[in-house]
Amino acid sequence: MVDYRNYLVWQKSHRLVIDIYKATALFPKSEQFNFVSQINRAALSVPANIVEGCGRET
pLDDT at residue 1 above 70? Answer: no
Chain segment 3-52, per-residue pLDDT in tens? 999 999 999 999 999 999 999 999 998 888 889 999 999 999 999 999 99
DSSP 27: S
Other C-beta atoms closer than 10 Å to the C-beta of 44 total 16
pLDDT at residue 2 above 80? Answer: no
Supply the pLDDT for residue 17. 98
The number of distinct structural domains making up the chain is 1
Q: Which domain holds residue 12?
A: 4-56
Supply the pLDDT for residue 43. 97
